[in-house]
Each structure stands twice: as structure tokens, then as C-alpha cells.
Amino acid sequence: MVKIEDYGEFTTSWCPGCGNFGIMQAVRQALLAQDIAPHQFVYVSGIGQAAKAPHYLRSNMFNGLHGRALPVAQAVRLSNTNLPVLVSSGDGCSYGEGGNHFLAAVRRNVNMTLLAHNNQIYGLTKGQASPTTMTGQVTKTQPLGVAATPFNPVAVAVAMKCSFVARSFAGDTEHLAQMIELAMRHEGFALVDILQPCVSFNKINTYAWYKERCVNLPDDYDPTDWSVAMQTADKFGDEIPLGLIYKQDRPSYETHIPQLANGPLAQAATDFDALDRVLEKFV
């Protein structure tokens, strides 16, 4: 039986009050609820304060290039389909540098979970606007205010019929843990967009700002209704809906690969005769 202490306690470089603490607590709770031991999953990230999360959890991990966490995570999952794969990265890493990888991951539907720490700012680089920073917001590098329209990752994911789309808040760890657990149990690519205050470099989108606007979806909300999900995903302002916004069952990418029909590649025996034939043909 796994205990929450098994995931370890580590000294972090995060600011006191950072939303990353709530996210890490929720990740631990979600793993515990599924009885997943530290050696039984992989935690992947890119670059940024959010991407340091795998450093502070006892697990298998890979910390790669800025915006490149998703391709690595997909490769990990496809080589061992028995292994749960989590990705943690910020809004800049996931939707900026890694924007195209995000779209490709939605299309492919590899069975894995992206936890996008969305604090609407670049925290590691000390406060420049990210793709999700609101129009008009003044930052250190946008002293006249952001001119661009913010990227809405939830609306984009629903528009592309991503098989699982949820939004939660780092200040409500119980709700967030539920969303992460649901996402990890889902068969296919799952996005959990997590609203996360940056207490040092974003003085607009604070805990109080989010709490005034975040509203949990009603119990009778139907996440399989795409039209309703699009309307829900488009709301981001005076009201921000939280919960499982859209879900559909469709075959994961793994089911289209015949080489995986007999089990994970990582556990397959080596066919040295086939290797010799390949070497003779190409070397």
C-alpha cells in the first residue's frame, strides 16, 4: 500500500505562496488515490518554474528542453504502454514554445496527462507576458500593456475535440486532485489547465482574483455535449468555469500501432535475426 510520504519531501526554489505548492500536493493526492508507487510512473517536464515539479517528487523523471516535454512524454508512453505518464509545464512552455507540440498531442491522443500550470506570466524569466496574459496587462517587458489577444487553451482543446479537457485551480487542491485523477484514468490525451497565481510577478491574477471568478460546473453538466463545452470553454473573465469541460471516448494513438498489439515494446524480446536483416540492408 502506497503512502503519501513515499513521494518524498524536498526543499524547493519556489517563492512562498507559489501556486506550484498546491499543484504538487494535488499530484501526490491523485497518485495516492490510484495507489501508484514512485517507481510506477514517469514525470516529464520542459523548462520553467512549473517544470521543476519533477525535481521535487520521488519518481522516474525527464527534464528536457523548453516546450519539448510533450514529444518526449509521448515517446516514453509509446515505448512502455504500461507506464502512466504525467507532464508538468507552464503556460509559456506548453502554449508558447511548445504550442505546436500541444496541438499535435491533442490530435494524436496518446494516453497521457498534461498538467499546464497556467499563471498567465513567465515566472522563471521574471515577469514577461506569456501567451495567456490578458490584453492590456502591464508587465516588465510590456510597459504599455499587452497588445495581443490571450490564447485560450481550453477553448482550443475543445475546438479540436481533445478527448479530455478540464480546468482547475491551484487554490482548491481537493478539486484539482479529483481532476488529475480523472485525467490519469482517462484513455487518451488529457489536458488539465490549472489556474495558478504567481505571487511575485503577476499582481493581477492573484488568489483573490481567481476566487472571485472561479465557479465549479453544476452536477448535471454534460461534458460529452461538444456545443455546450465550446460555450463553457469560451468563458474566461467575470466567470471562469472549473471542472471536466469536455470528454469523448475515441481510440488512443497506441491502438493504431500494430507493433504494440503484443504488449509494451520495452518488455518485448530482442529479435536478433531481424536486427541482422536490417543491418544487412542499410549498413
Confidence check: pLDDT of 58 > 90: yes
Q: What is the pLDDT of residue 125?
A: 85
Name the pLDDT band for 248 (thresholds 50, 70, 90). very high
Q: What is the pLDDT of residue 100?
A: 96
Measuring CA to CA, how many Å separate 124 from each of 17, 82, 128, 198, 242?
Answer: 15, 34, 9, 10, 26
pTM: 0.95
Name the pLDDT band for 198 (thresholds 50, 70, 90). very high
With contact defined as beta carbons under 8 Å apart, do 80 and 266 qualify? yes
Q: Give residue-wise pLDDT tens across range 105-115.
A: 999 999 999 99
Q: What is the pLDDT of residue 223?
A: 98
Q: What nine digits make up the cell of 275? A: 536486427
What span, in angstroms and rounded, lies between the C-alpha atoms of 265 and 267? 5
**Percent residues over pLDDT 90 in the chain:** 92
Q: What nine digits make up the cell of 160? A: 479540436
Confidence check: pLDDT of 189 > 90: yes
What span, in angstroms and rounded, lies between the C-alpha atoms of 74 and 164? 16
With contact defined as beta carbons under 8 Å apart, do 111 and 253 qualify? yes
Q: Give residue-wise pLDDT tens across range 134-170.
A: 999 999 889 999 999 999 999 999 999 999 999 999 9
Provide mean pLDDT across the span 182-208: 97
Provide mean pLDDT across the span 186-211: 96
Mean model confidence pLDDT for the chain: 95
CB atoms within 10 A of CB 210: 19
What span, in angstroms and rounded, lies between the C-alpha atoms of 18 and 206? 10
Q: What is the pLDDT of residue 23?
A: 97
Name the pLDDT band for 226 (thresholds 50, 70, 90). very high
Provide mean pLDDT across the span 238-264: 95
Q: 132 vs 126, which has greater pLDDT?
A: 132
What span, in angstroms and rounded, lies between the C-alpha atoms of 167 and 172? 12
Name the pLDDT band for 124 (thresholds 50, 70, 90). confident
Provide mean pLDDT across the span 248-257: 95
With contact defined as beta carbons under 8 Å apart, do 176 and 26 qualify? yes
Confidence check: pLDDT of 270 > 90: no
Phi-psi domain of 3 (left: phi exceeds 0; alpha: psi -120 through 50; beta: other): beta
User: In sequence order, which ranges of the chain are alpha helices (DSSP H)?
Assistant: 19-33, 69-79, 91, 99-108, 153-159, 173-185, 207-213, 226-233, 272-282
Which SS3 state, helix, strand or coil, does residue 49 take?
coil
Measuring CA to CA, how many Å separate 204 from each of 136, 147, 152, 180?
Answer: 11, 16, 18, 26
Report which DSSP code applies to 57.
S
Provide mean pLDDT across the span 65-81: 96
Q: What is the pLDDT of residue 168?
A: 98
Confidence check: pLDDT of 80 > 90: yes
Provide mean pLDDT across the span 50-59: 95
What span, in angstroms and rounded, lies between the C-alpha atoms of 12 and 60? 18
Confidence check: pLDDT of 271 > 90: no
What span, in angstroms and rounded, lies between the C-alpha atoms of 181 and 24? 13
Q: What is the pLDDT of residue 283?
A: 81
Confidence check: pLDDT of 197 > 90: yes
For domain 4-253, give the fold.
Rossmann fold (3.40.50)
